[in-house]
Amino acid sequence: MQKEITTEEIQAVFPKVAQIIADALGCDIDQVKPEVPLIEGLDAESIDFLDLIFRLERAFGVKIPRGKIVEDARGDLAEADFEQKGAVTEIGLKRLKEFLSEVPADRFKTPMKAADIPKLFTPETFCKVVIRAQRAQAAA
């Protein structure tokens, strides 16, 4: 199990991540609060997530495979245990809540469609993506 990500680590990368999100979405940086849902709060679409990942890779000099957030949330859980017929399983949802600890509990719906997982993502989610990628790079 990886060491938990600290508030200080998130605060250290947040300004740069927020600027990248503002650039990718074409919005004002003041709108990019750590907890704002990117899809419902800032009108992000799937192409924006792709854009965001590539921009973060370039800005932080890290490698972030696409689909990494869900893959990391799943961890050692088999795909069939995490998701069945497009819906996140009970144990999958528990994993997701732990992994996306920055997301308020009331935003996790039951049942939750796997395709709706990106609706949970916030700027803080992407701060954590960057920090994990930095750690992975440092460990390599």
Return residues touching another protein (CB under 8 A).
23, 26, 43, 45-48, 50-51, 54, 58, 65-67
End-to-end CA distance of the chain: 16
Minimum CB distance to another protein smaller for 4 or for 26:
26
23/116 with CB nearer another protein? 23
Give, in order, the Cα–Cα distances in Å from 11 to each of 18, 45, 56, 69, 127.
Answer: 11, 25, 16, 20, 9
Q: Cβ 26 to another protein, closest distance in Å?
A: 5
21 HSE (CA, 13 A, CB side): 31
Strands of 87-88's sheet in order across:
83-84, 87-88, 112-113
State the minimum distance, in angstroms, from the CB of residue 78 to another protein.
20
Contact between 13 and 131 under an 8 Å Cβ cutoff? The reply is: yes
Q: Cα separation of 73 and 69, whole Å?
A: 6
**Which CB sits closer to another protein, 9 or 57?**
57
Residue number with CB closer to another protein (10 or 62): 62
Least distance from another protein to the Cβ atom of residue 106, Å: 28
Query: From the CB of 67, what's the least distance to another protein, in Å?
Result: 7
